[in-house]
Structure 1
Amino acid sequence: MTTSRPFSACVTYYDPNALPVAAAQEIVRQWAMPRGTAGRVERVSLYEALGRVLAEDVISPIDVPAFDNSAMDGYAFKSAALNAARDAVELNVAGIALAGRPFSAEPNAAQCVRIMTGALIPPGCDTVVPQELVTRADDVIRFPSTVVSEGQNRRLAGEDLARGKAALQAGRIVRASDLGLLASLGIAEVAVRKRLVVAFFSTGDELRSVGEPLAPGSLYDSNRYTLFAMLRRLDVETVDLGIVRDDRASLEKALREAAQAADVVISSGGVSVGDADFTRELMNSLGDVAFWKIAMRPGRPLAFGRLWSGPRAGTGESALFFGLPGNPVAVMATFYFIVREALLAMSGAARQPLIEIRATCAEPIKKRAGRTEFQRGIASRRADGQWSVVTTGPQGSGVLSSMSRANCFIVLEHDRGNLETGDSVDIVPFDGLV
């Protein structure tokens, strides 16, 4: 197994103790390779495919549309009638074409066919005039020759998608619209990658599970619930290992079992330098560590590397390891800006960059240069259509309620200092994210 050194050496400004966020993201990107396809592909029905990652291109077995059809309700005719007319075209209605019930005879140059949207274009016809542009008396229609041109309002066979072309490409995360597209091609099932397995747990003697009584100095574990929710959004298979106590034996057992069972292991808490934080000590013996800290707020203590299930590094099964901070907001920030992309890459998905929107500060924002900050913000649209943003107030990494009040992250770059009202910033909307 390749160690961290050659990977990390490729990143400018590599410092395992205080890594800039962009450098940390690049290291994670280099390590988080897609899992091999052998044994990791399965075929599922369309009802089971939503949110899954396509393992291969989906090739269209038919032309879409499968035949020339009308783009609207109107009258189909031969465009030669336009050339023959001076000011107005006058045609006799020979019949009607409905969706699923075509008109099979070929009309002559002086005739037209009443046609509905989606109906097969009658033989010999190549143009459709919308019904609202004609006047009709009995079985005769009349319309100005200038209101329609040759070939107008006709959808050609294969215009949307030609037979033999890729309808969807490998690596795509299947969306609701994709299911409709696949069904329109008559495809009942698709090949997808098996879900990535992610094991997660919290560490700390002070933590209690929901439902347990709180003793003096203890608090409820919220991180496992936010981790579960964020992982669920990425459609990975989760293994909740619960709360692991602050002793070396318990933590070693949890890490080794997690590496055995999962592709990725995520812990929260236990990666600082406290006397009872054993994660760092164990990772030095069981794993290969790329970095321990990043220049990020919230989220400075963050461990990343590879973990093995055997008695020492390089033995047994391996998994990528993310040791997240213990503070709740830091867990969410580091997950979205460090962990998320790695999980998508290992799932075989194409890159899905977070959406950034330019906004204007509606108030001054304090920021210390030398670290990237992800402050919680409330963004709104002004009357001129531009976005403006304010912070939620105190930005402590333990203020989880600020994440509930916010609707975006305010992204403040590494070298940036304090901001004044009117300054421009990038925001990452929560909608569809959290």
Structure 2
Amino acid sequence: MDFFQCIPLREAQAIIVKELSGAVVASERVPLVDALGRVAAEAISAAENLPPFSRSTVDGFAVRSADTFGASEAAPSLFSVVGEVLMGESTDIELRPGQAAVIPTGGMVPVGADAVVMLEYAEQPDHHTLLIAKMIAPGENVVLKGEDIASGSPIVQGGQTITPARIGLLAANGVTHAQVRKAVEVAIISTGDELVEIDGPVRAGQIRDVNSYALGALFTEWGCRVTRMGIVRDSYEKFYGALAQAVEACDMVVISGGSSVGARDFTVKAIDGLGAPGVLFHGIAIKPGKPTIFGMVKGKPVFGLPGHPVAAMTVSEQLVKPAVRLLSGRQKPLERRVVQASLSRNVASSPGRDDFVGVRLTHEAGRYTATPIFGKSGLIRWMAESDGVMHIPADKSGVYEGESVPVLLLGDAD
């Protein structure tokens, strides 16, 4: 195929979705405490009702709601107090018309009662007499048996991320272990004779290996397990060997550098050499990140990202993140954290190309203002100083000062 023929960003995303459709990592059974953030590999249903009995949500008196109809401060309803529900214990109290029982928050609602009156609406002239000065609706201040989760109903669906709230639901139903998808194993290969490790000396003409750490942190934040394969020098044989090893060991491979058309870049040749279908596209109409490569080897995705840190991270957000979600088996479509902001100045763009521009956000009088941060894609500070990224679609030739633009939030920006 003729490489470096740029395709639209949406077409690139569609190719990745098509190739990874149904390609989900294996599952494993883990203790509930280790399931947080993982993706459920199967539906988990409730084995019992939650709550297992009807319970009060307040301290007060269990009553038959019909006995309070017409009650007011001027004409309170009269009840006989026939007992007390104890916390953590079953009760055999059965209320008849005109009867009430003392009940604590969380206490079991007696048979015959269908509501609980809060203490502030009740008055006890003596231990056996109760006056209620408010009408109570059926079910008021009561959680019915199975109202939270009914026995047999799903607690977690396959493909859902297990959140802290779902951990609570599972714990409440006595679930101690969950079948979840394994973390996506991602191998990162750094390429280039100019690269050195971050803890070594840097001589003239050399730079530290920024991308394997920045990208590794990004993928870890997405729930991946990252393996840094180290720096591979500009030798086809060494690169091919490293790539073959990474494909065998991991679910996805990300190559930092080696995606341009330079004579010493071996990515395309190596990906194709490892097996069909090989490289599926080389070049996307995007800035930064134009020379991006994507291919499939032995059913595993391989990305060749630009060596410039900002370009590599921009492409990762647009292409690698959706791939990670597909491999993880996540059911919910990707939802990006986006805010609308008023642009502080004009920004030009080239039609036919999706541009991504870092911005600083300020929030005043209930609205956001986005100030573009201009810089070359090799400047890692560009990303570090950005609160978000403004997307200029391919069908626009730029955006104007004061125009409302969508801004993708980065990290903890709020």
Alignment TM class, shorter chain as reference: over 0.9
Query: Structure 1 CA distance, aligned partners of 2:413 and 2:48?
Result: 36
Report the TM-score, using the length of structure 1 for normalisation: 0.88
Query: Structure 2 CA distance, aligned partners of 1:370 and 1:284?
Result: 29
Show the counterpart of 1:424. Answer: 404
Show the counterpart of 2:360. Answer: 378
Asked if structure 1 preserves the Cα contact closer than 8 Å seen for 2:20 and 2:323, the reply is: yes
Look up the equivalent residue of 1:330 and give its one-letter code: A
Show the counterpart of 1:109. Answer: 97
Asked if structure 2 preserves the Cα contact closer than 8 Å seen for 1:267 and 1:324, the reply is: yes
Show the counterpart of 2:264. Answer: 276
| 2:131 aligned to which of 142, 159, 169 | 142
Query: Structure 2 CA distance, aligned partners of 1:130 and 1:197?
Result: 54
Show the counterpart of 2:392. Answer: 412
Q: Mapping of 1:70-109 within 5 angstroms?
A: 70-83=56-69, 87-109=75-97
| 1:390 aligned to which of 366, 371, 389 | 371
| 2:29 aligned to which of 43, 65, 88 | 43
| 2:44 aligned to which of 26, 38, 58 | 58
Are the structure 2 counterparts of residues 63 and 117 from structure 1 closer, same or farther at C-alpha, using a change threshold of 3 Å? same
Asked if structure 2 preserves the Cα contact closer than 8 Å seen for 1:260 and 1:318, the reply is: no
Q: CA deviation at 1:329?
A: 0.7
Asked if structure 1 preserves the Cα contact closer than 8 Å seen for 2:155 and 2:166, the reply is: no
Query: Structure 1 CA distance, aligned partners of 2:363 and 2:92?
Result: 55
| 1:325 aligned to which of 306, 310, 322 | 306
Q: Does 1:338 align with 2:319?
A: yes
Are the structure 2 counterparts of residues 346 and 274 from structure 1 closer, same or farther at C-alpha, using a change threshold of 3 Å? same
Show the counterpart of 1:298. Answer: 288
Q: CA deviation at 1:285?
A: 3.0
Query: Structure 1 CA distance, aligned partners of 2:38 and 2:71?
Result: 56
Look up the equivalent residue of 2:343 and give its one-letter code: C
Query: Structure 2 CA distance, aligned partners of 1:43 and 1:432?
Result: 31
Query: Structure 1 CA distance, aligned partners of 2:413 and 2:271?
Result: 31
Query: Structure 1 CA distance, aligned partners of 2:254 and 2:145?
Result: 50
Asked if structure 1 preserves the Cα contact closer than 8 Å seen for 2:65 and 2:115, the reply is: yes
Query: Structure 2 CA distance, aligned partners of 1:94 and 1:134?
Result: 15
Q: Does 1:205 align with 2:187?
A: no
| 2:171 aligned to which of 140, 159, 183 | 183
Q: CA deviation at 1:320?
A: 1.3
Q: CA deviation at 1:377?
A: 1.6
Q: CA deviation at 1:362?
A: 2.9
Look up the equivalent residue of 2:176 and give its one-letter code: A
Q: Does 1:349 align with 2:330?
A: yes
Look up the equivalent residue of 2:42 and give its one-letter code: E
Q: Percent identity?
A: 32
Show the counterpart of 2:273. Answer: 285
Number of residue pairs matched by the alignment:
408
Query: Structure 2 CA distance, aligned partners of 1:114 and 1:390?
Result: 62
Query: Structure 1 CA distance, aligned partners of 2:61 and 2:185?
Result: 57
Q: Mapping of 1:202-241 within 5 angstroms?
A: 202-241=190-229
Asked if structure 2 preserves the Cα contact closer than 8 Å seen for 1:201 and 1:224, the reply is: yes
Asked if structure 1 preserves the Cα contact closer than 8 Å seen for 2:24 and 2:327, the reply is: no
Deviations 1:348-381 (A, max 9, x none): 1223332322222233333232211221122233
Cα RMSD of the aligned pairs, angstroms, is 2.3
Look up the equivalent residue of 1:323 and give its one-letter code: G
More displaced, 394-403 or 98-107?
98-107
Q: Mapping of 1:145-164 within 5 angstroms?
A: 145-146=134-135, 148-164=136-152
More displaced, 420-429 or 182-191?
420-429
Deviations 1:106-135 (A, max 9, x none): 233222112222211012111111222223
Structure 2: 5+ residue runs without aligned partners?
none
Structure 1: 5+ residue runs without aligned partners?
6-13, 308-316
3-state SS, counterpart of residue 348 of structure 2: coil
Query: Structure 2 CA distance, aligned partners of 1:18 and 1:116?
Result: 68
More displaced, 65-74 or 159-168?
65-74
Look up the equivalent residue of 1:394 and give its one-letter code: F
Asked if structure 1 preserves the Cα contact closer than 8 Å seen for 2:68 and 2:132, the reply is: no
Show the counterpart of 2:12. Answer: 24
Report the TM-score, using the length of structure 2 for normalisation: 0.92
Deviations 1:249-308 (A, max 9, x none): 11111111111212211101011011221212333433511111111111111000113x
Asked if structure 2 preserves the Cα contact closer than 8 Å seen for 1:329 and 1:397, the reply is: yes
Look up the equivalent residue of 1:170 and give its one-letter code: G
Query: Structure 1 CA distance, aligned partners of 2:37 and 2:387?
Result: 23
3-state SS, counterpart of residue 255 of structure 1: helix
Look up the equivalent residue of 2:19 and give its one-letter code: W
More displaced, 367-376 or 92-101?
92-101
Query: Structure 2 CA distance, aligned partners of 1:26 and 1:400?
Result: 29
Are the structure 2 counterparts of residues 261 and 110 from structure 1 closer, same or farther at C-alpha, using a change threshold of 3 Å? same
Look up the equivalent residue of 2:264 and give its one-letter code: A
3-state SS, counterpart of residue 276 of structure 1: coil
Asked if structure 2 preserves the Cα contact closer than 8 Å seen for 1:70 and 1:153, the reply is: yes
Q: CA deviation at 1:34?
A: 3.6
3-state SS, counterpart of residue 19 of structure 1: coil
